[in-house]
Amino acid sequence: MVTIKEIARECNVSATTVSNILNGKEHKVSEATKRRVQEAVRRLGYRPNYMAKGLRTQKTGMICIVAEDIAQFTTPEIVEGITGCCEEHGYRIIVKNLRMYARWGGSWYNDIRAQDSVRDPAIQEITPMTADGVLYIAGHARKVSCFPEDFPLPAVMIHSYAENPNVPSVLMDDERAAYELVSYLITKGHNRIGVIGGREDNIHTQKRLLGYQRALYEHGILYNPEWIRYARWDLESAYRETESLLKTGITAVFCMADRMAGGVYRYLDEQGMRAGRDFSVVGFDNQDIAEYFIPGLTTMAQPLREMGRRAAELLMGKLERGGVAAQRPHEEILIPCSFIERDSVCRLRIPEGNIQKN
């Protein structure tokens, strides 16, 4: 591999000069030598040695993405958003997948319960020697400790709430998204609207429930605890809640995950009913599956790429400012979701006066 020294010898200049030219520090170099060096670099096919560079500058030029489960459907799009931004800023990306390390057995997405803190060998390994910054993609609120203590590397949390000071979070606006979905159902004439939420202690479940509540309140509909069910984010558990929930006399249901809407669809099918005709369903996530439901599922698309990009931009800012403004209080960036209308909701023909009568 050709080095800076060889370029220098080839052009009869010092290594320093070549380095200055390659790094755009051109205030000390004439146009002529600059062109001469650049030509040699191209001709000999010089590539920088990142390790030598990193050793000298004490920067790795890498961002570490820590993903609790890289195969979870939300993660890849977030990563795509991140890569876009990082490439533009000249950072390379290193990936740590925690899935394999997870000691708490069973299916990750369904069975993991919120943990106060992650203290994981894989994370402990991320030192300033590995990366210049960390982007943590989590599904639950977390306090993350890595080496050295208390996240000395600039970090941004994506898709969940960080409990560390100085670790800002980039999240979708759960409350508003739920508010919009439920308001949509109300404008379609529904006033008895059920909810199938995720785990009760999950922060997303809670925020979305607040949005549901606000929508009801603003339209003068009384909140009825009977209409609220909690499940485990998956089809099976949602399916098990559906029968008794429908018996409460609701005409529509807000499912906090498209996969849970799948449970409702299955129940409806068994009863010879059809979403969008005999009953109304909205989901959340706009996961692939929503498009393949028959009829297509009306839902809320999570702004995954956008979240990834915003988080990366935030991190780039921190790195370029050199951690100057690091003493701000916990920062939270909410990205709006986008409403996707398909065919799973029908208009209700019920006299208007009924609305107040829960």
Preceding omega of 165 cis (within 30 degrees of 0): no
Identify residues 240-299 at the interface with a second copy (CB under 8 A): 259, 262, 265-266, 269, 287-289, 291-294
Write down the residue that tokens 């894989």 correspond to.
Answer: 122
Binding flags for a second copy, 124-163, as an x/- string (CB under 8 A): ---xxxx----------------xx---------------
Residue from 51, 107, 324, 353 in contact with a second copy (CB under 8 A): 51
Tokens of 223: 């909140």
> CA-to-CA distance for 358 and 354, rounded, in angstroms?
8
Q: Write the DSSP assignment of 191-257 as a string of letters.
A: -SEEEEES-TT-HHHHHHHHHHHHHHHHTT----GGGEEE--SSHHHHHHHHHHHHTTT-SEEEESS
Task: Output 29 or 340, the one with its CB closest to DNA.
Answer: 29
The CA-atom distances, in angstroms, between 309 and each of 84, 88, 90, 158, 304 are 7, 11, 14, 10, 9
By the 10 Å C-beta count (0-12 exposed, 13-18 middle, 19+ buried), 169 is classed as buried
Residues 145 and 152: beta-carbon distance below 8 Å: no
Task: Output 49 or 115, the one with its CB closest to DNA.
Answer: 49
Q: How many CA atoms lie within 13 A of 173 on its CB side?
A: 12
Residues that bind DNA (CB under 7 A): 1, 3-5, 12-17, 19-20, 22-23, 25, 27-30, 32-33, 46, 48-49, 52-53, 55-58
The listed partner (DNA, a second copy, none) that binds 28, CB under 5 to 8 Å by sort, is: DNA
The listed partner (a second copy, DNA, none) that binds 32, CB under 5 to 8 Å by sort, is: DNA
Count of positions on this chain that bind a second copy (CB under 8 A)? 52
Q: How far is the CB of 1 from a second copy (least distance, A)?
A: 6
Residues 301 and 143: beta-carbon distance below 8 Å: no
Residues 168 and 333: beta-carbon distance below 8 Å: yes
The listed partner (a second copy, DNA, none) that binds 318, CB under 5 to 8 Å by sort, is: none
Contact window for a second copy (CB under 8 A) among 30-38, 44-52, 189-197, 332-340 = 44-52
DSSP E strands in the chain: the ranges are: 62-67, 92-97, 117-118, 133-137, 143-144, 155-158, 169-172, 193-197, 228-230, 252-255, 280-282, 299-301, 332-335, 338-340
Task: Output 20 or 169, the one with its CB closest to DNA.
Answer: 20
Q: How far is the CB of 92 from DNA (least distance, A)?
A: 15
Tokens of 242: 């559906």
The listed partner (DNA, a second copy, none) that binds 326, CB under 5 to 8 Å by sort, is: none
Task: Output 48 or 226, the one with its CB closest to a second copy.
Answer: 48
Task: Output 32 or 100, the one with its CB closest to a second copy.
Answer: 100
Task: Output 147 or 339, the one with its CB closest to a second copy.
Answer: 147
Task: Output 21 or 131, the one with its CB closest to a second copy.
Answer: 131
> CA-to-CA distance for 334 and 317, rounded, in angstroms?
18
Contact window for a second copy (CB under 8 A) among 34-42, 43-51, 134-142, 321-329 = 43-51
Identify residues 199-238 at the interface with a second copy (CB under 8 A): 235
Residue from 26, 39, 87, 332 in contact with a second copy (CB under 8 A): 87
* 49 belongs to the binding site for a second copy (CB under 8 A): yes
> CA-to-CA distance for 342 and 325, rounded, in angstroms?
44
One-letter identity of residue 191: N
Q: How many CA atoms lie within 13 A of 189 on its CB side?
A: 11
* Binding region for a second copy (CB under 8 A): 1, 45, 47-52, 54-55, 60, 62, 65, 70-71, 73, 75-77, 79-80, 83-84, 87, 92-97, 99-100, 122, 127-130, 147-148, 235, 259, 262, 265-266, 269, 287-289, 291-294
